[in-house]
Structure 1
Amino acid sequence: MMVRLFRNSKWEMILLFTASSTLSVLIWTIGCRMADSKVGSSDLWIGIAALFIIVSAGIGYWAAQRTQRQIDVLYLGLKQATHGNYAARLPEQGARTFMAVYQEFNDMVEALDQRMQVIQHTGEEQVMREAASNEAAVLEERKRLARDLHDTVSQQLFAIHMSASSLPKLLEINQERAASVMEQLISMSSLAQKQMRGFIAQLRPLELEGKSLQEALDKWFPDYCRQNGLQGVLEWRIKEKLSEAKEHQLFLIIQEAMANIVKHAGAQTALLTVAETERQIIMTLQDNGAGFRADQVKRGSYGLSTMRERANKLGGDASIISKPGSGTRVRVTLPNYMNKGAES
């Protein structure tokens, strides 16, 4: 492509300089004849020289501007493609020197566009296959959680009930002993509450069952923020319905990112935004926590590897931007083809 571009540019520049030189020589010749007819007219010679320079500079400026505009169009197309907009096409009409380059660029992004649709379609099918194959594991996990609940929280609640039942009698008989039982009740209830939160955290992915991602987040996000002392703001800017695979992966990514805020950030606020462009679904999560330097975090930690892996399954990507004292920003992008891949 570049060889053809340089070859075409070479011949165009040769033609332009030839035309410029020819016109300049013509002006100079006519000017010389006029000056010869008026011997001693120095002002005329100055005017001829000035005209010669102006014409040459004008043609050079016009040629440079023309080439620069075509380069700018190519640069903007490359920039859009770099940011995932594979629908970008360069106008081939009137490109002349750059026509071959524009054609090859358009063919390239068309091929990338088709490949990305295939990747997204294949990724969504894989996610759903994995979800189906995990049903048995989910049922087994539920049984385990039921056993754990019986062995921990259920017994804690029974002990609390027995202690609370004896408390009125103890208050009448021995207030000092009653105060000790009260402290035990507070300790046991606090432990039971922590254990229950742990089990709820393990069951949170079930929040999405039977609901859209927006409906699940409307309930789960403010509850999670409230339970963990965060002031949360949710902004939903998507009009089209998302595929089930996208909703599943985004929900798990958001859970991972929120868990990181609670564990590591020491933040007071969390802003979650889910938006769309013509070609992308974009999820951002910003907190006002302590932040960190990139060299302070081990490779693959802070959940980035897990989030990126989930996004990659659908042809997307995930990134984390943070700075000490300035909080952390998680950004996830997924290609958005209005579910064309799933329909085909």
Structure 2
Amino acid sequence: MGDSMSTTDWKNPPLIERIRWLRYVLPPILAVVVVAYQLGVAQRLAERYGHPLHYAVEIAFYSLVGPIVTWVTLIWIEHSLAEKEQLERQVQARTQQLASLTAVSADAILSLDTNGRISSWNRGAERMLNYKAEEIVGQPLTALLPEAEQLANRLHQQGEVQNFETMARMADGRLIPVDLSQTRQTTGPKDSLASLIIMRDITVRREREAILEEERARIARDLHDGVAQTLYFLALKADMARQQVAENPDQVRADLKEIGQKIRQVIRDVRRTIFALRPLDWARQGFLPALKQFVHDFAEQVGWQANMEIAPDVVVPPRLEATVFRLVQESLNNVAKHAEATQIWVQICTESEENGRFLQIIIRDNGRGFDPTQTKAGGLGLEQMDARVKAVNGRWHITSRPHQNGTTITFHLPLTGETNE
């Protein structure tokens, strides 16, 4: 690489180097030409044709050599300047292209000077961390990253940092998770802190990872409390039936019927558990289409008729996607386990109130209903739903009566404002 660069520099030296080279080389060349002419051509002409012809040739020589040399030199300088201007235009175009890409990037892109202070700040950084450029430029990196010193040590040891997950401090003091990459600037001393940093907000990714972890824990609980307990009960029933075959065949037939019903229930529970393991393709489908597909697939698994309506103006902010999905999923799980329903209705729309716009989610079934005041919250996962709603400063309520008109759950989630997480 170094030899290649040396060859390129030798073939295309900078303009100042060319002029410096010309300054030292051109005068000796002219001197050699003049001396060679005087000692060679001029002397022979004088000896052979006399001084008049010698003077005429000398005048012609000097009147041509100077202009020709000047003309050639100017052409060379003009060519060099044209090359320089072309290179400058290319550099300017690439700089503008890079600046445009940096400006429109959703990632936060910032640079540090040799003292480790922030020297540039793109729009993506403004949107992500809510700092204006004039507020943050000139500040040390520790103003943004609590782990800035650890990051600097890794950069010094490795020369670059890739996919470093840490927390970044927003303008209001809140911390958000980010995925960070940092590379050292090629110019400057080796111990210089000048570098380029790219940060990506991974809040949504962390929320989705948390959903997966929570889903695994829920499935483990369902398998233990549901399938495992039912299978244990069936084993006991089968043993009792075997012992009563001769003495009480009618009871055995009743027990076998109950065992068959329980087995079918276990099959439904296992199918629902397997269905819950299927990932939602939010990135490819979009959140709302993926949620709608989830509701219809869930209903198909448990044998419901599903009706889902999403208002055309509904846009779920990324910060609410995980909350909305978990609320809908937990509500459907409760209906499947306890309601004995055959139909469900899910409606998502927006509503305006005095304190802003809200996302409204209504989930209704035609099951047997229950008394919300007499139900243990943990049994229906109501504590988890309550915590999720409060985390986004929302509110919710349940409308239900035992054995009458099913159950309706309504969630109101603010579309603006901050969360309590």
User: TM-score band (shorter)?
Assistant: 0.3 to 0.5
Rg larger in 1 or in 2?
2
Please, what TM-score do these two structures have when normalized by structure 1? 0.43
Of structures 1 and 2, the one with the larger relative CO (CA 8 A, separation 6+) is 1
Please, what TM-score do these two structures have when normalized by structure 2? 0.36
Query: Which structure dedicates a bigger proportion of its chain to helix?
Result: 1
Query: Which structure dedicates a bigger proportion of its chain to strand?
Result: 2
